[in-house]
Structure 1
Amino acid sequence: MAERHPWNAGTVGTVAGLAGVIGVGIGYGLAPKEIGSAVAEPVATEELVEEATPAAIPDAEMLREKRNKRGKRGKRTDRQRKRAKPSTMGVPSGPIDLSSVPGETWVTRHDPEQTWPGYTMVFYQRRVPMLIDMDGRIVHYWPDVRAVGRIRLTPQGHLVYIAPDDTIREVDWDGNLVREYKSEVEDRFPHHDLQWVPDGRIAAVYRTKSEFTDDIIFIDPSGELSWTWKSKGNLDDEISASPRDPNDLTHFNSVQVIPDNPHHRAGDARFKAGNVLISARNLSYIYMVDPDTGNVVWKYGEGLDWQHEAVLLGDDLPSAGNILLFNNRFHSEERRSEVIEINPVTNEVVWRYASEGFFSDTAGVAQKLPNGNVLITSSRGGRVFEVTAAGDVIWQWQPPYLPMRVNRYAPDYCPQLEAMGPPSTKSVVSQETRPYIDGALYDFKMSGKVQKIPVDGKKREVLTEGKVCLDVQFPGKPNLTFDLGFIVPGGDATAAMEGTITMTATPEVGEVENLYDKTITLAENGAWNRERVRVPKKLAYMKAELCVESTATDIRSRDDLRPGLVVGMPKIMSGYRTRGKDLPNARDKKTQKAEQELQQRQLEALGYIE
């Protein structure tokens, strides 16, 4: 019997009336062609997946024992586990006013002759949903809403989203509650993705804290939990073969109930409308599941590396039936992401976008647009950009924070957008004459040797070793800052303490550049101080090894801090970056303790933190 989870309705509308086209039309398939330095290559055909006897899956106790043997700071290759920290943002104490946000300055490139005009749904500071026109002007936002991971606009003009308190909510255009859903299972929570289906159901990714795998659930319009598909028991062979992270074995990051498509109409039952397409990041596979049988009927993993957002294209887009996805290539040596389109019948990659400077090690999505362009969110790269089929960047949005999961909607997608009329458009010529370099390519957190510890009364991000080097690609107009200070014994500001710091950049071609070389004393510099480093112009856009060497003592844990010099994490910035000074703050300082604990719990369950 299905588990009952009632919807709590404010104004209960007719869910079945939704057109349900959200997440249907994304991606496209063109003939393989060269784009920049990237070439689309065929992928070996995989056979139809047959039902197999599941292998034994590692149980929770075994995984915990394995983790404990490794030690608190045992060896780990996945950089994100060291980098991600819990959010302190929860339910706001009041509405936010975005009227002063200079959104138009965040569009840094726009060719109106080639873009597909529409209204783009974005996050403000990764929490507040807002719609912008092609010029970046905010045309609508939901001041009382705080969302995490995913926001969807319905054809009625309603907003559907995952809230920070483990609730899936639907509000109308004005922010009034229409309905909400919260699992009655205490430690089960939604994460990453949800999708409305034309018949009024909702599909969502869920995780139970006590488990290390993910589930897909369907909730019908009446609130009945109508279907659950568990990766445990269905993907055991893949999980057992390579348990990359014992806390997070599957890491589902997208779900789609696929629409009707040419493959099914041609007789291929694997792609019948209603089947479920899932992206499992930590398995580097995407799966097609038949909800009638629960069987995996198709899978693909050739060349995938921590991919995101697999979507089968609907009939409303070119090359319907192909699958578009964002392939992060997290573990790649050259650190270059790609957006690929796959013909799922032949398993061939029929289109690929990749370019120097494009890299988002985690997160990221891609959306196919009706004119054949693709809208790409490079979350860790710090930008959203639209490319043509030939790979030309024709629109770019660079907010002063990391963007996430952006979608563009047609001007007549819902009545409220249609009432606004066509979006405003104006040409914007980029000030940057060379290709944009994504921020993940010069983020020192990628070294895996950064930790937050208390210094001078505040938590600071510092380097954990006396010598830390990182291969970077400098952006245009590069500049660099870093902090330095001392852990003072007993808080004695008069203590005689000193240390030395040197910083060098060794480019692939050319001589070593000495960027910084100083002796630091507590008496002259204080317990915490910021330094600005001049980066030679000739290093712009160049690849180099950046090394920081100091007399700082190694930091093994936050519980074992010895007095001495500490060096803050270097921060490389581009002179072309957009400014974010004096912006409204979506991160409410009055977040309740319970909300912080909930955020901590989710991140622990998803394997982001210990």
Structure 2
Amino acid sequence: MKKCDKWYSIVLMGLVLLLASSLIACQPALSSAPPVEPADTTSPPPIGGFVATDAYDGKVNLSWDKSMAEDFDHYSIYVSKSEITDVNGMTPAQEIADIITNRYQVTQLETGTKYYFAVTAVDKSDNENTSVACVSAMPTPMPRGTVDPDVHVEVYQSDMAWPGTTLLPDNYDPGRPRIIEVNMLGEIIWEYLVPHNLKQYTNPGFDVELLPNNNILFVLPRRGVYEIDRKGRVVWSYLTDKISHDADRLPNGNTIFVYGASDHKNDAQIIEVNQKGEVVWSWYAKDHFDKSPYASIYDEGWTHTNAVTRLPDGNTLISPRNFNFMVEVDSNGSVVRTIGEGILEDQHDPEILSDGNILVANHVIPHQAIEIDPKTSRVVWKSAGFERDITPVRDADRLPNGNTLITGTTRILEVTAEGKTAWQLSLKDVIFETPKERPARGFYKAERIGTQR
């Protein structure tokens, strides 16, 4: 073998050995590489609290609970004329990237056609729970009425408001007191004129409510409580001068009402009567509060009780305005608890919410609607304060979409939980010549009647 060939063989053998050792040295590094993460195939949980509501004239409002998905990417909204059980293969009508946005208005639908809707959450790996429980709604035309010279709608955000009509007493013209039902545009679609011989009995507290049979129950202070049908015919009444502010029809057919207009210690502040007009239950504040510091109070009555509500457990919630708190009593009339001490001032029309909290109009300065947790006495929500030209604020109702309908003297507002105005009805060119005219002639209470009633 030549020297060069021998040298070449030695070099080649060295290169082979060097390559082999390099490969061996690399083995530990290769074996220590992190394992590949498996692909995310878990879909976000189904959406809860999904509701579809006719918003009139080819529009449907959708709302749902916020997604709990940690890797949320967007909501997908589906629309169909047939029932939806699985959205696999369907194209979303809309995608919403903001997890906080949990409402949407579907437009350009056919009036009188039933539609089905579904909403899903999609995560960043494009996972989607395609099996859905859909909801349905049928767009209908808005009921139309007549334009009135005294009232008008200044704000109407159809995608934010709870659609329907609004029922309220209107005493702005004392010579022509009436009950009106207005549509979302402020047009009057139904009206009842209080008879001429009764028109002086409208203050304080000309309360009105819709009954399940579509009749209207209303209070004429110091005169009585009446039930009329939609043709204005009186179908039931209970006459007494010991009545004011508030009356409710109970599920058993009885009627419960308050007396707080110039009430005295010997008066029953709460009375319940049956359909025959027999008193079946009453409550006297003197049995519990004829003591310091309440015994010497007097401001338009001893207690000036202005509201009563029968609770689901059979107890009764009472609002003695002058005491600056609410009282819950049991079926025997014994005080279970007082609510709102140190928070409330001249409170009006408390309402029990589905979670047990209480929504009430509060007359601290400025007036506002507040929601109280009675277990902790904490204010868990409050509206913005209202300027003087709207006060007094005497009613607040929580609507099914979470908005709140608030009745002030010159305006009725629907506000979102965030404080945005979704709807506002106002008195036109209102002029009150004296301070006493404000509560006497202004709005008192209002009730929204939903489209799906």
Is 1:370 the counterpart of 2:424 in the alignment?
no
Where 2:243 maps in the other structure, the secondary structure is: strand
Report deviation, 1:164: 5.4
TM-score, normalised to structure 1, is 0.44
Counterpart residue identity of residue 143, structure 1: L
- The answer to whether the 8 Å contact 2:162/2:400 transfers is yes
Counterpart residue identity of residue 238, structure 2: Y
Q: Which has the larger radius of gyration?
A: 2
Quote the Cα distance in structure 1 between the aligned partners of 2:416 and 2:377.
Answer: 23
Quote the Cα distance in structure 2 between the aligned partners of 1:133 and 1:119.
Answer: 5
Match of 1:169 in 2: 226
Deviation string for 1:367-407 (max 9, x for gaps)?
Answer: 1000000011112xx11111100011121111135212111
Match of 2:376 in 1: 346
Residues 171 and 354 from structure 1, CA distance in 2 versus in 1: closer, same or farther, beyond 3 angstroms?
A: same
Match of 2:67 in 1: none
Report deviation, 1:102: 4.0
Quote the Cα distance in structure 1 between the aligned partners of 2:293 and 2:279.
Answer: 26
Structure with larger RCO (C-alpha < 8 A, sep 6+): 1
Counterpart residue identity of residue 292, structure 1: N
Match of 1:101 in 2: 148
TM-score, normalised to structure 2, is 0.58
Selected match of 1:196 from 235, 249, 253 = 249
Quote the Cα distance in structure 1 between the aligned partners of 2:347 and 2:237.
Answer: 30
Where 2:427 maps in the other structure, the secondary structure is: coil
Q: How does 1:106-505 map to 2 (within 5 A)?
A: 106-126=152-172, 127-145=177-195, 148=202, 149-163=206-220, 166-183=223-240, 188-206=241-259, 211-212=264-265, 215-237=269-291, 239-240=293-294, 243-245=296-298, 248-259=301-312, 273-314=313-354, 320-329=355-364, 335-355=365-385, 357=387, 361-379=391-409, 382-400=410-428, 401=430, 402-413=442-453
Report deviation, 1:119: 0.8
Gaps of 5+ in 1: 1-97, 260-272, 315-319, 330-334, 414-610
Report deviation, 1:139: 0.8
Deviation string for 1:5-58 (max 9, x for gaps)?
Answer: xxxxxxxxxxxxxxxxxxxxxxxxxxxxxxxxxxxxxxxxxxxxxxxxxxxxxx
Residues 222 and 301 from structure 1, CA distance in 2 versus in 1: closer, same or farther, beyond 3 angstroms?
A: same
Where 1:234 maps in the other structure, the secondary structure is: helix
Counterpart residue identity of residue 207, structure 2: R
Where 2:231 maps in the other structure, the secondary structure is: coil
Quote the Cα distance in structure 2 between the aligned partners of 1:363 and 1:245.
Answer: 21
What is the aligned residue count?
A: 285
Where 1:140 maps in the other structure, the secondary structure is: strand
Report deviation, 1:239: 5.0
Deviation string for 1:246-290 (max 9, x for gaps)?
Answer: 66221111111123xxxxxxxxxxxxx221111111111111011
Residues 339 and 214 from structure 1, CA distance in 2 versus in 1: closer, same or farther, beyond 3 angstroms?
A: farther
Quote the Cα distance in structure 1 between the aligned partners of 2:146 and 2:158.
Answer: 25
Where 2:291 maps in the other structure, the secondary structure is: helix
Match of 1:425 in 2: none
Quote the Cα distance in structure 1 between the aligned partners of 2:400 and 2:260.
Answer: 34
Deviation string for 1:330-350 (max 9, x for gaps)?
Answer: xxxxx3112111111222211
Residues 293 and 255 from structure 1, CA distance in 2 versus in 1: closer, same or farther, beyond 3 angstroms?
A: closer
Residues 248 and 293 from structure 1, CA distance in 2 versus in 1: closer, same or farther, beyond 3 angstroms?
A: closer
- The answer to whether the 8 Å contact 2:262/2:300 transfers is no
Residues 238 and 120 from structure 1, CA distance in 2 versus in 1: closer, same or farther, beyond 3 angstroms?
A: farther
Quote the Cα distance in structure 2 between the aligned partners of 1:144 and 1:357.
Answer: 31
Counterpart residue identity of residue 406, structure 1: A
Quote the Cα distance in structure 1 between the aligned partners of 2:342 and 2:407.
Answer: 22
Quote the Cα distance in structure 2 between the aligned partners of 1:165 and 1:231.
Answer: 19
Deviation string for 1:262-319 (max 9, x for gaps)?
Answer: xxxxxxxxxxx221111111111111011235334343322211111111124xxxxx
Residues 199 and 282 from structure 1, CA distance in 2 versus in 1: closer, same or farther, beyond 3 angstroms?
A: same
- The answer to whether the 8 Å contact 1:239/1:250 transfers is no
- The answer to whether the 8 Å contact 2:294/2:323 transfers is no
Quote the Cα distance in structure 1 between the aligned partners of 2:282 and 2:421.
Answer: 41
Gaps of 5+ in 2: 1-144, 431-441
- The answer to whether the 8 Å contact 2:221/2:244 transfers is no
Where 2:158 maps in the other structure, the secondary structure is: coil
Residues 348 and 210 from structure 1, CA distance in 2 versus in 1: closer, same or farther, beyond 3 angstroms?
A: closer
Quote the Cα distance in structure 1 between the aligned partners of 2:301 and 2:182.
Answer: 35
- The answer to whether the 8 Å contact 2:222/2:244 transfers is no
Quote the Cα distance in structure 2 between the aligned partners of 1:355 and 1:363.
Answer: 10
Report deviation, 1:363: 4.9
- The answer to whether the 8 Å contact 1:367/1:375 transfers is yes
Where 2:179 maps in the other structure, the secondary structure is: strand
Counterpart residue identity of residue 391, structure 1: G
Residues 247 and 370 from structure 1, CA distance in 2 versus in 1: closer, same or farther, beyond 3 angstroms?
A: closer
Residues 396 and 219 from structure 1, CA distance in 2 versus in 1: closer, same or farther, beyond 3 angstroms?
A: same
- The answer to whether the 8 Å contact 1:229/1:294 transfers is no
Quote the Cα distance in structure 1 between the aligned partners of 2:179 and 2:191.
Answer: 6
Aligned residues: percent identity?
29
Deviation string for 1:222-244 (max 9, x for gaps)?
Answer: 32200110111222235536x34
